[in-house]
Chain A
Amino acid sequence: MKKFNRSRLRHRLNAARRRLEQAKRPKGLTGGQGDLNQVFLNPKPPVPGATSHVSTPRIQAPPKLDIYSGDNFGAFCNFLNNLEQASRYNDRVIICFRNTHRITAAAALRLLASVSNLLSTYENLSFGCSIPSRRSGHKYKQYDRVIEGVLQQIGFFKMIGQPERTPTKRADIAAWSQLSGELADGSLAASLLNSLPPSITKKAKAQLYKGAIEAMANSVDHAYPRDENGAQLKENRWWMLVGRNQEKITLIVCDLGVGIPVTLPKKHPESMLRAIFQKCRILGNSDAEMIHASTFIKRTRTHQTHRGKGGADIRSITEHFPGALLSIRSNRGCYIVAGEKYPGTIRPGYAEIDGSNGREWSASYSHSICGTLIEWTVSLKELEA
């Protein structure tokens, strides 16, 4: 048994007292498991310079920052919601990644979009971030710095004003490139696509560009609400990420707008939507079904007969590349369409759409992603052919 050291007694008692005080502080619950503690939802002190009467809220990121499975999607949306609520009422918010061991490109981009949007919305807001310790023997010893590497790669630390970390050595993460903008600027999309391997043909890049520029234009044109005078109520920003591994490339475009299920009935005449619903055998009006319908809209947007060809461009990538996969998530719905020769399988939780010959799926969620996220996955072989 280790001998008791009296000289260190005071130090040990002080440390124990600090731990007790820390444990008594109110904390936000794990993003995916509960709501933010009510103590953080009080309005900010009205007097400038006044200090808050509560400590800084810590918003726990869920173990898996992922939007592909239903459970993870719900936990992720809850986490984003907690983040937004805490940011609304507090000037400083800590995002805690201590429990997080997995992060996907789509979730990373969506998180970045949220943080960027919150920082531009609340002038005095600042974020802190806690990630697992790198010390060996720590209880988080399984942590392999993937989360830190991803956050560094997407510019998260830079955005929240924290010191940048050592770039990751993992090739699949180091290949991620992202940017954002407020206009449908083709040069920005091209700069990301030019980061792809030179073996990808010019024609293949042109196809990806076609989908990307239409997704960007849709975000700028439709996603964000305007007031009665046509003025933008919210920064109409989009975020784009290009990633690749040895087999495929992924292109993601994301916005924080009102979502396709909201814009679709507002921007198109009912008769036209009814015709599409009949043609596609869509029976309801769930978010997933509205997204499905939007990919068939080639004409008649905003009651102007010549507008609205972007939906078809977004879908056309799966027709041009038979091994491609397109996923569109907007608010509470998800619609997936695969090319004719898509080699992969779709995860459980997505229902195959009748009459699609195993090429289209949809899913409905109880949580909303509060915006739209379009993701294309194309095999490198097809892009190099």
Chain B
Amino acid sequence: MSTIFVTDFSEFPGARYDSLGPNSGEKFRKTVLIPAIKANENKETITVVLDGAFGYGSSFLDEAFGGLIRDGIDENTVLAICDHIVSEEDPSLKIEIIQWVKEAITEKSK
């Protein structure tokens, strides 16, 4: 099992795009999530721990997780990551991420 702690990326998750500021959702997806998915040849469970960060804007979450779908990552892989999100400090974040991922899947299928 592979575990990603968002706090290893940053304690202060930022905006959607890297052009808007540091620690963006785009950067988290490109430098942390996608490399972890590609390196996971054995199809082990990837767990993302959201706890410990100062807070999250919706744009960061959408760009980081919904962006995986838009980047062509298999939707079952992304949904599996969503299932293993740990957010004990604010459980609503997990629900929000699943919502953005499902919306991205719907948009992609249009």
Contact B21 A220 (CB under 8 A): yes
Contacts of B56 in A (CB 8 A): 206, 209-210
- Chain A 182-205: CB-based contact to B (< 8 A → 1; otherwise 0): 011111011001000000001101
Contact of A214 among B10, B54, B57, B66 (CB under 8 A): B57
Is the CB of A217 closer than 8 A to any CB of chain B? yes
- In the complex, what distance in Å separates the CA atom of A306 from the CA atom of B11? 24
26 examples of A-B residue contacts, CB within 8 angstroms: A183-B20, A183-B22, A184-B14, A185-B12, A186-B14, A187-B22, A190-B12, A190-B54, A206-B90, A209-B54, A209-B57, A210-B57, A213-B57, A214-B57, A217-B15, A217-B16, A217-B21, A220-B20, A221-B20, A299-B103, A305-B107, A306-B63, A306-B66, A306-B70, A309-B62, A313-B57
Contacts of A184 in B (CB 8 A): 14-15, 20-21
- In the complex, what distance in Å separates the CA atom of A216 from the CA atom of B12? 14
Contact A309-B59, Cβ < 8 Å, known A183-B22, A186-B10 = yes
* A interface, CB within 8 angstroms of B: 183-187, 189-190, 193, 202-203, 205-210, 213-214, 216-217, 220-221, 299, 305-307, 309-310, 312-313
Contact of A206 among B20, B54, B62, B103 (CB under 8 A): B54
Among A217, A220, A310, the one with the most B-chain Cβ atoms within 10 Å of its Cβ is: A217
Give the distance to chain B from A294, nearest Cβ to Cβ, in Å: 15
B110 to A, closest residue via Cβ: A305
Give the distance to chain B from A240, nearest Cβ to Cβ, in Å: 13
Contacts of A183 in B (CB 8 A): 20-22
Contact A213 B22 (CB under 8 A): no
Contact of B54 among A186, A217, A221, A307 (CB under 8 A): A186
* B interface, CB within 8 angstroms of A: 10-17, 20-23, 54-60, 62-63, 66-67, 70, 89-90, 100, 103-104, 107
Contacts of B104 in A (CB 8 A): 306
Contact A203-B89, Cβ < 8 Å, known A184-B14, A313-B58 = yes
Contact A307 B16 (CB under 8 A): yes
Give the distance to chain B from A303, nearest Cβ to Cβ, in Å: 13
Contact A186 B13 (CB under 8 A): yes
A211 to B, closest residue via Cβ: B57
- In the complex, what distance in Å separates the CA atom of A216 from the CA atom of B21? 9
Contacts of B89 in A (CB 8 A): 202-203, 206
Contact A306 B20 (CB under 8 A): no
Main DSSP-derived SS at the A contact region: helix
B22 to A, closest residue via Cβ: A185
Contacts of A312 in B (CB 8 A): 58
B70 to A, closest residue via Cβ: A306
- In the complex, what distance in Å separates the CA atom of A187 from the CA atom of B15? 12
Give the distance to chain B from A184, nearest Cβ to Cβ, in Å: 4
Closest CB pairs A-B (n = 4): A209-B55, A186-B12, A206-B55, A184-B21
Contact B67 A306 (CB under 8 A): yes
Contact of B15 among A205, A208, A216 (CB under 8 A): A216
Contact B14 A309 (CB under 8 A): no
Contact A306 B10 (CB under 8 A): no
Contacts of A310 in B (CB 8 A): 57-59
Contacts of B11 in A (CB 8 A): 187, 190
A188 to B, closest residue via Cβ: B12
- In the complex, what distance in Å separates the CA atom of A221 from the CA atom of B25? 15
- In the complex, what distance in Å separates the CA atom of A47 from the CA atom of B16? 47
Contacts of B15 in A (CB 8 A): 184, 213-214, 216-217, 220-221
Give the distance to chain A from B6, nearest Cβ to Cβ, in Å: 12
- In the complex, what distance in Å separates the CA atom of A190 from the CA atom of B56? 11
Contact A210-B58, Cβ < 8 Å, known A186-B10, A299-B103, A307-B16 = yes
Among B13, B20, B59, the one with the most A-chain Cβ atoms within 10 Å of its Cβ is: B59
Contacts of A216 in B (CB 8 A): 15, 21
Contacts of B103 in A (CB 8 A): 299, 306
- In the complex, what distance in Å separates the CA atom of A312 from the CA atom of B58? 9
Give the distance to chain A from B26, nearest Cβ to Cβ, in Å: 11
Contact A306 B14 (CB under 8 A): no
Give the distance to chain B from A196, nearest Cβ to Cβ, in Å: 13
20 more A-B contacts (CB under 8 A) besides A184-B15, A185-B14?
Answer: A185-B22, A186-B23, A190-B12, A193-B54, A203-B89, A203-B90, A206-B55, A206-B89, A209-B55, A210-B55, A210-B56, A214-B59, A217-B15, A217-B16, A220-B15, A221-B16, A306-B63, A307-B16, A309-B57, A313-B59
